[in-house]
Amino acid sequence: MAENIPTRAESFAAEDGSSAPAGASARRDRALSHRLRTPERGKRHILTNTIRHVVNDEGLDLAAGLAFYALLSIAPAALALVSVLGVLGEAKSTTEAVLALVSDLSSEVAEAIRPIVTDLVSTPAAGFTLVVSLIVAIWSSSKYVGAFGRAANKAYSVQESRPLWKLKPTILLITLGLLLLMVGLGLLLVVSGPIAEYIGKLVDLGPVAVMIWSIARWPVVIVFVMLVIAILYYATPNVTKSRFRWSSLGALIALIALALVSVGFVIYINNFDNYNATYGAIGGVIVGFVWLWMVNLALIFGVELDAEIERSQPSD
């Protein structure tokens, strides 16, 4: 028997009692939109259908829109992150940790964003600036979360029927959670480095401990990214799932695709092209936007795959 996953609209209707028979509230977690169930099919059929749905749902255009919203939210989110860490006295250390992380992938990209990050760090962190940066970060980042929810609804072939008073707080709550994850990752990168160095001195490993941490921090980053993807896939579409899942096949494929896209793109810009020579001062922005587009295309493919897997499950 396949696990049923009701749409959020059905759950809301059951709670309201306006379009459900008596006892529907107790059964709403077992309801399921008929559109999400089709006969069981092979893996190849699922893959080809996923690709077809990505094309039919205009996945390339959706990824471009998501990349635009992501680009708009990066600066406010970074300012909020630096402001919060500045209050904790860790803004400069976080900056160096982030730049070191980026430098491991591409020294050119790290040098290109260094002035921007440095300007963010020099911005006063307390009081009015902190409050404004947090508000702007949550608002701008919520636009991305909302856009991703609309893309996920297309993947699941459902309409957005949640009332505005319920949808907007949900989006803001998801956004706040994602920003808190960013702050947590920043603190982890800052605190763990000195701890690794201190432990290395205690056990007489010296620079070896720092080198080990420089490798081990990547799995930590992957865990945080996986959690972000899991939250987006679980909370944004208008379907109700019985429980939060740390990972799904679509999320894993999206994570792998994201990693391959990032590494491949870095190799390309480091060895085969010079965006600064071609586009001048805006080269870095163009590089970042193209990367964001490919990353969001991977995320869309992942959520389409999860939706297609749901459609392929046998009905109860």
Phi, psi of 250 (to 5 degrees): -60, -40
Tell me what pLDDT residue 106 has. Answer: 55
CA gap 291, 283 in Å, rounded = 12
What proportions of the chain, in percent to the nearest 5, are helix, strand and coil? 80, 0, 20
End-to-end CA separation in angstroms for the chain: 5
Residue 253 has what pLDDT? 93
Domain boundary assignment for the chain: 1-32, 40-310
Q: Is the pTM of this model over 0.85?
A: no
pLDDT of residue 134: 76
pLDDT digits (tens, 9 = 90+) for 30-87: 343 444 444 444 778 888 888 899 999 898 999 999 999 988 887 777 766 666 666 6
Mean pLDDT of the chain: 73
Cα–Cα distances (Å) from 112 to 96, 218, 279, 312, in that order, read 14, 22, 14, 46
In this prediction, residue 15 carries a pLDDT of 47
- Which helix (DSSP H) or strand (DSSP E) does residue 130 occupy? helix 128-156
pLDDT, residue 195, reads 60
Q: Which residues of the chain have pLDDT under 70?
A: 1-41, 79-130, 187, 189-210, 213-214, 242, 272-284, 314-316
Report the alpha-carbon distance of residue 63 to residue 152 in Å, rounded: 12
Per-residue pLDDT at 275: 63
Identify the helix (H) or strand (E) that includes residue 135. helix 128-156
Provide the token pair at 179: 């920003």
Q: What pLDDT does 37 receive?
A: 46
pLDDT at 24: 40
Say what the pLDDT of residue 28 is. 37
Residue 18 DSSP symbol: S
pLDDT at 264: 82
Residue 264 CA to residue 258 CA, distance in Å, equals 10
**Exposed e or buried b per residue across 60-85, where buried means at least 16 C-beta atoms within 10 angstroms of its C-beta:** eebbebbbbbbbebbebbbbbbbbbb
Give the C-alpha distances (Å, rounded to integers) separating 287 from 38, 70, 233, 254, 295.
41, 14, 26, 20, 12
DSSP code per residue over 259-273: HHHHHHHHHHHHHT-
- Asked if 249 and 259 touch (Cβ cutoff 8 Å), the reply is no
